[in-house]
Structure 1
C-alpha cells in the first residue's frame, strides 16, 4: 500500500494536484483557517470543478463552490473547525454529482450538496491562502476506500461501507439483504433520484430497484447495492437516530438519509429514514408509506 502524502502549502491559493478517481479522500490538515480543496477533471483549475473551503472566512464557515462562481452552492457555520496547533481530520466523498464533507470518525457529513450535472472527477487539489499556511497528511486512495478500491463500479463511504454500482435487477455477490417479500430477499440500495441520493430496496425478480419519493414508489434501473457489510438493525422511532446509524445518502436539500425497514402487509421492506420528518418512508404498492416506529441500520 502506498504511503501517506505529506505536504506543506504556502499562503498562495495555488492548488497542488494529485490523481484520485476513487470518489473518496480522507486527510488531516493543520492550519489556522482556509483549507481549500478542488475536485477537478484535470490537474489544473479548469471548469467544470468543485471547491470545498473548510474553515474559511476567519475559521467561521465552510462552503462548496462550483466553477469558482458565487453564490456558493452550500454553506454551513463551522466556528473553529481548523487549528493552527493540531491536525484535524476530514473526508470528502463525491458520488453521482453529490459532494459530501465530514469529520474524521463521523460518518455523517456536516456539509453536502447534490448537483444535477455529473462531473467525472479525476484529480484532487489542496491549498491554503488568505494569510494561512497548511500542513497536510493525505491518505492514498486505496487506504480510504474501505475495501472498495479497485473494484469496478465500487464507491467507498466513510464508516466502512461499500456501495457497488448495478442495474436491471443485478445483485453483486456480496450484496446486503435487508428485507424479504414472499421468500425473496430484498437488498439495500441507494439511487440518484430528483436531485437526491435516496436509500431504497432492490427486488431482483422485478429487474429493478425502488425508492420512496414524492408520495410514490419510484422504480429505478440504475442503483448501488450495499455490499460487504456486517451491520445490524436497531429498533427506534421518530427522529431518534443512533450515533452509529448508517448514512446512505441525502435528500435533494442536502439532509443526511439513513436506511430503515419495517414489516408491512407481510413484507419486511427497506426504505429511507429522514430525520427531519421523524419517519421511515418505504416504497410499497406504488406508494410512499410512512412509519414512526421502525428498525434502523447501524454499524
Structure 2
C-alpha cells in the first residue's frame, strides 16, 4: 500500500507545571527535509526527535512545531533579573543621551518594561527538568502514530486513484493492439506509396540503398515494441504499488517512461484511431503523474 507525503497531527500535554502543544505536518518534497520550531531551552530534544521522525518518514518536507508555556498560577510570572537589568540600563542610557541633546522623552512605565522581550519569560528559559523532557519524549510516539495514520489513509486514496488510472491505461493499450489489424490496410497503402517514391529514385540508388530505405520505413511504422513496453510499464507500476516500500521516485520515473512510449505511439500512428488512443494515453499519464507527486 502507498503512503502519502501529505500529513498532519497535533497533540497536547502537561507536566511539571507546563502545558504544550505539538504540530507535525508534511507536504510534498523531492527529498527528506525536517525542520523544527521549539524553544531554545529544549534544544536537547532535537536529536531524539530527528531520529524518531527520520525512522518513520523517508521523503517530504516535514515541520515539527512545539509551543510550550508555564501553567497559570502563583509562580507563572517570574522576572528574569539579567534581562531586566539590561533593559533598565539601556533605558537609562537612552534618557541620558536624550537629555544631553535637549530631547524630552516620555518616561517608561513598568508595563513598558515588562513588555520587553525576555524580561518576563524566565520560566521558559530555565533548564528543562528530566520529568518534562521525559513527558515530551513520550508524546512523540503517539504523535507520529496519528501522523502516519493520516498519511496511510491519504496513501490508500492515492492507491485507488492510481489503480484506476493504470486500469484505464491498460484498456487503451489493449485497444491500440487490437487496432493494429484495422490499421494494416491504411498502413499498406501508405507503405506502398512510400516505396513508390523510393522506386522513383531507383536510377540514382543502388539495390542495397533501396533495401535500406524500405527497412527504415518498416521500422518507423511498427508500434508493436511501444505497446509491449506500455504493458511492461503497467506491470512494473503495479508491482511497485504492491511492494509497501516508499516508491514515489520510482513511480515518477516510470511515468516519464509511460509518456515516452505514448509520444512515440502518436508519432508512428499514421492512423486517426491510433492517434486518438495515443493522445488519450498522454492525458491519463499526465493525470497519473500529478497523483504520483504525492506518493512518498
TM-score category of the 2 structures, normalised to the smaller one:
under 0.3
- TM-score w.r.t. the length of structure 1 is 0.22
Greater RCO (CA < 8 Å, at least 6 residues apart): 2
Name which one, 1 or 2, has greater alpha-carbon Rg.
Answer: 2
What TM-score, normalized by structure 2, do the two folds share?
Answer: 0.22
More helix by share: 2
Structure (1 or 2) with the greater strand fraction: 1
